[in-house]
Amino acid sequence: MDALTLVRQDHRKVGNLLERVERLEGDDEEERAVLLGQLQTALQHHVGSEEAILYPVFRERARRAEVDLDLLDQAIEQHRLITRLAGELAATDPGDESLKAKLTVLTEQVRTHLDTEDSVLLTAVEDLIDDDSLVELGRRMEQRDQVIEARRELAAVIPGGPRGRRLAAALGGLVALGTALLAVLSRRRRPPEPTGRHRRRRR
Protein backbone atom coordinates (compact mmCIF):
# COMPACT_ATOMS: atom_id res chain seq x y z
CA MET A 1 0.00 0.00 0.00
CA ASP A 2 1.07 3.59 -0.47
CA ALA A 3 2.26 5.73 2.44
CA LEU A 4 -0.87 7.84 2.73
CA THR A 5 -3.12 4.78 2.94
CA LEU A 6 -0.95 3.39 5.73
CA VAL A 7 -0.96 6.70 7.62
CA ARG A 8 -4.74 6.95 7.37
CA GLN A 9 -5.05 3.39 8.65
CA ASP A 10 -2.92 4.42 11.64
CA HIS A 11 -5.24 7.36 12.23
CA ARG A 12 -8.29 5.09 12.31
CA LYS A 13 -6.57 2.65 14.67
CA VAL A 14 -5.59 5.41 17.09
CA GLY A 15 -9.08 6.93 16.93
CA ASN A 16 -10.72 3.56 17.67
CA LEU A 17 -8.43 2.99 20.65
CA LEU A 18 -9.26 6.42 22.05
CA GLU A 19 -12.97 5.66 21.80
CA ARG A 20 -12.56 2.29 23.50
CA VAL A 21 -10.61 3.81 26.39
CA GLU A 22 -13.19 6.57 26.84
CA ARG A 23 -16.08 4.09 26.92
CA LEU A 24 -14.62 2.07 29.82
CA GLU A 25 -16.33 2.33 33.18
CA GLY A 26 -14.42 3.41 36.26
CA ASP A 27 -13.94 -0.10 37.68
CA ASP A 28 -12.37 -1.61 34.53
CA GLU A 29 -8.84 -0.77 35.65
CA GLU A 30 -7.17 -3.88 34.21
CA GLU A 31 -8.75 -3.50 30.78
CA ARG A 32 -7.98 0.23 30.79
CA ALA A 33 -4.31 -0.49 31.51
CA VAL A 34 -4.18 -2.90 28.55
CA LEU A 35 -5.86 -0.39 26.22
CA LEU A 36 -3.61 2.43 27.38
CA GLY A 37 -0.59 0.28 26.57
CA GLN A 38 -2.01 -0.44 23.11
CA LEU A 39 -2.71 3.26 22.63
CA GLN A 40 0.84 4.24 23.56
CA THR A 41 2.23 1.62 21.14
CA ALA A 42 -0.06 2.87 18.36
CA LEU A 43 1.01 6.47 18.96
CA GLN A 44 4.68 5.50 18.97
CA HIS A 45 4.16 3.71 15.66
CA HIS A 46 2.34 6.70 14.19
CA VAL A 47 5.03 9.18 15.22
CA GLY A 48 7.96 6.96 14.29
CA SER A 49 6.63 5.97 10.88
CA GLU A 50 5.89 9.52 9.84
CA GLU A 51 9.05 11.12 11.18
CA ALA A 52 11.42 8.40 9.98
CA ILE A 53 10.06 8.03 6.45
CA LEU A 54 7.26 10.33 5.27
CA TYR A 55 8.11 13.68 6.81
CA PRO A 56 11.75 13.87 5.61
CA VAL A 57 10.72 13.29 1.98
CA PHE A 58 7.91 15.81 2.26
CA ARG A 59 10.27 18.38 3.78
CA GLU A 60 12.72 17.93 0.91
CA ARG A 61 10.01 18.26 -1.75
CA ALA A 62 8.46 21.25 0.02
CA ARG A 63 11.80 23.07 0.09
CA ARG A 64 12.29 22.47 -3.63
CA ALA A 65 8.81 23.79 -4.35
CA GLU A 66 9.31 26.68 -1.88
CA VAL A 67 6.26 25.58 0.12
CA ASP A 68 5.81 26.88 3.68
CA LEU A 69 6.99 24.30 6.20
CA ASP A 70 5.23 25.78 9.24
CA LEU A 71 2.49 23.15 9.15
CA LEU A 72 5.02 20.32 9.13
CA ASP A 73 6.98 21.85 12.00
CA GLN A 74 3.74 22.24 13.98
CA ALA A 75 2.90 18.57 13.35
CA ILE A 76 6.30 17.53 14.71
CA GLU A 77 5.80 19.66 17.82
CA GLN A 78 2.39 18.04 18.27
CA HIS A 79 4.14 14.67 18.08
CA ARG A 80 6.47 15.73 20.89
CA LEU A 81 3.56 16.82 23.07
CA ILE A 82 1.51 13.70 22.36
CA THR A 83 4.47 11.42 23.07
CA ARG A 84 5.09 13.14 26.42
CA LEU A 85 1.40 13.02 27.42
CA ALA A 86 1.10 9.36 26.40
CA GLY A 87 4.18 8.51 28.46
CA GLU A 88 2.76 10.29 31.51
CA LEU A 89 -0.57 8.53 31.06
CA ALA A 90 1.06 5.10 30.75
CA ALA A 91 3.03 5.75 33.95
CA THR A 92 -0.10 6.73 35.89
CA ASP A 93 -1.68 4.11 38.14
CA PRO A 94 -5.05 2.94 36.73
CA GLY A 95 -6.72 3.91 39.99
CA ASP A 96 -5.20 7.39 40.13
CA GLU A 97 -7.78 10.18 40.25
CA SER A 98 -5.78 12.23 37.73
CA LEU A 99 -6.01 9.51 35.07
CA LYS A 100 -9.28 10.74 33.59
CA ALA A 101 -8.02 14.33 33.29
CA LYS A 102 -4.78 13.19 31.65
CA LEU A 103 -6.71 11.00 29.22
CA THR A 104 -8.97 13.92 28.32
CA VAL A 105 -5.99 16.18 27.56
CA LEU A 106 -4.27 13.48 25.50
CA THR A 107 -7.47 12.72 23.58
CA GLU A 108 -7.98 16.38 22.69
CA GLN A 109 -4.39 16.77 21.51
CA VAL A 110 -4.40 13.56 19.46
CA ARG A 111 -7.72 14.31 17.75
CA THR A 112 -6.63 17.86 16.92
CA HIS A 113 -3.40 16.50 15.45
CA LEU A 114 -5.10 13.79 13.41
CA ASP A 115 -7.74 16.17 12.09
CA THR A 116 -5.09 18.65 10.99
CA GLU A 117 -3.06 15.95 9.28
CA ASP A 118 -6.07 14.48 7.51
CA SER A 119 -7.49 17.78 6.33
CA VAL A 120 -4.34 19.75 5.48
CA LEU A 121 -0.95 18.06 5.80
CA LEU A 122 -1.73 14.81 3.96
CA THR A 123 -3.33 16.82 1.18
CA ALA A 124 -0.10 18.81 0.85
CA VAL A 125 1.89 15.55 0.81
CA GLU A 126 -0.33 14.22 -1.96
CA ASP A 127 0.23 17.38 -3.99
CA LEU A 128 4.03 17.27 -3.72
CA ILE A 129 4.87 13.54 -3.79
CA ASP A 130 4.01 11.50 -6.88
CA ASP A 131 2.14 8.20 -6.71
CA ASP A 132 5.17 6.00 -7.42
CA SER A 133 7.14 7.66 -4.62
CA LEU A 134 4.20 7.22 -2.22
CA VAL A 135 4.09 3.51 -3.04
CA GLU A 136 7.84 3.22 -2.41
CA LEU A 137 7.48 5.08 0.90
CA GLY A 138 4.65 2.73 1.83
CA ARG A 139 6.93 -0.24 1.12
CA ARG A 140 9.60 1.26 3.38
CA MET A 141 7.04 1.79 6.14
CA GLU A 142 5.97 -1.84 5.92
CA GLN A 143 9.59 -3.00 6.05
CA ARG A 144 10.17 -0.81 9.10
CA ASP A 145 7.16 -2.44 10.77
CA GLN A 146 8.62 -5.88 9.99
CA VAL A 147 11.91 -4.91 11.63
CA ILE A 148 10.13 -3.65 14.76
CA GLU A 149 7.93 -6.75 14.98
CA ALA A 150 10.90 -9.08 14.47
CA ARG A 151 12.85 -7.32 17.22
CA ARG A 152 9.85 -7.49 19.55
CA GLU A 153 9.41 -11.21 18.97
CA LEU A 154 13.12 -11.90 19.39
CA ALA A 155 13.30 -9.80 22.56
CA ALA A 156 10.60 -12.04 24.03
CA VAL A 157 12.79 -15.16 23.69
CA ILE A 158 16.31 -13.74 24.05
CA PRO A 159 17.66 -13.07 27.59
CA GLY A 160 17.47 -9.45 28.68
CA GLY A 161 20.26 -6.96 29.25
CA PRO A 162 22.17 -4.77 26.77
CA ARG A 163 23.74 -7.74 24.99
CA GLY A 164 20.40 -9.45 24.51
CA ARG A 165 18.80 -6.25 23.19
CA ARG A 166 21.66 -5.73 20.73
CA LEU A 167 21.34 -9.31 19.51
CA ALA A 168 17.58 -8.97 19.07
CA ALA A 169 18.05 -5.73 17.14
CA ALA A 170 20.70 -7.27 14.88
CA LEU A 171 18.65 -10.39 14.15
CA GLY A 172 15.55 -8.28 13.55
CA GLY A 173 17.50 -6.25 11.01
CA LEU A 174 18.62 -9.43 9.23
CA VAL A 175 15.03 -10.67 9.03
CA ALA A 176 13.94 -7.38 7.47
CA LEU A 177 16.89 -7.42 5.05
CA GLY A 178 15.95 -10.90 3.89
CA THR A 179 12.35 -9.83 3.39
CA ALA A 180 13.45 -6.78 1.38
CA LEU A 181 15.75 -8.88 -0.83
CA LEU A 182 12.97 -11.35 -1.54
CA ALA A 183 10.66 -8.48 -2.49
CA VAL A 184 13.27 -7.08 -4.90
CA LEU A 185 13.92 -10.48 -6.47
CA SER A 186 10.22 -11.18 -6.89
CA ARG A 187 9.78 -7.88 -8.74
CA ARG A 188 12.69 -8.67 -11.04
CA ARG A 189 11.44 -12.12 -11.97
CA ARG A 190 9.69 -12.24 -15.32
CA PRO A 191 8.04 -15.22 -16.99
CA PRO A 192 10.21 -16.59 -19.85
CA GLU A 193 9.23 -15.66 -23.37
CA PRO A 194 7.89 -18.64 -25.34
CA THR A 195 10.40 -19.81 -27.96
CA GLY A 196 10.53 -22.36 -30.78
CA ARG A 197 7.94 -25.11 -30.69
CA HIS A 198 6.62 -23.90 -27.30
CA ARG A 199 5.51 -20.61 -28.78
CA ARG A 200 1.76 -20.45 -29.13
CA ARG A 201 0.66 -20.26 -32.74
CA ARG A 202 -1.72 -17.58 -33.83
CA ARG A 203 -4.90 -18.82 -35.44
Residue 121, pLDDT score: 94
**18 class by beta-carbon count within 10 Å (0-12 exposed, 13-18 middle, 19+ buried):** buried
For the chain, the DSSP string reads --HHHHHHHHHHHHHHHHHHHHH--TT-HHHHHHHHHHHHHHHHHHHHHIIIIIHHHHHHHHHHTT---HHHHHHHHHHHHHHHHHHHHHHS-TT-TTHHHHHHHHHHHHHHHHHHIIIIIHHHHHHHS-HHHHHHHHHHHHHHHHHHHHHHHHHHHS--SHHHHHHHHHHHHHHHHHHHHHHHHHHH--PPPP-GGGSPPP-
Residue 165, pLDDT score: 53
Which residue, among 24, 32, 4, has the nearest Cα to 123 in the 3D structure?
Answer: 4
Residue 81, pLDDT score: 96
Residue 8, pLDDT score: 95
Residues of the chain short of pLDDT 50, as ranges, are 168, 181-184, 186, 189-203
**134 class by beta-carbon count within 10 Å (0-12 exposed, 13-18 middle, 19+ buried):** buried
The pTM (predicted TM-score) of the whole model is 0.73
Residue 32, pLDDT score: 80
Q: Where are the domains of the chain?
A: 1-129, 130-189
CA distance 49 to 122: 14
Residue 99, pLDDT score: 84
1-129 placed in CATH 1.20.120.520: yes
Count of beta carbons in the 10 Å neighbourhood of residue 8 = 15
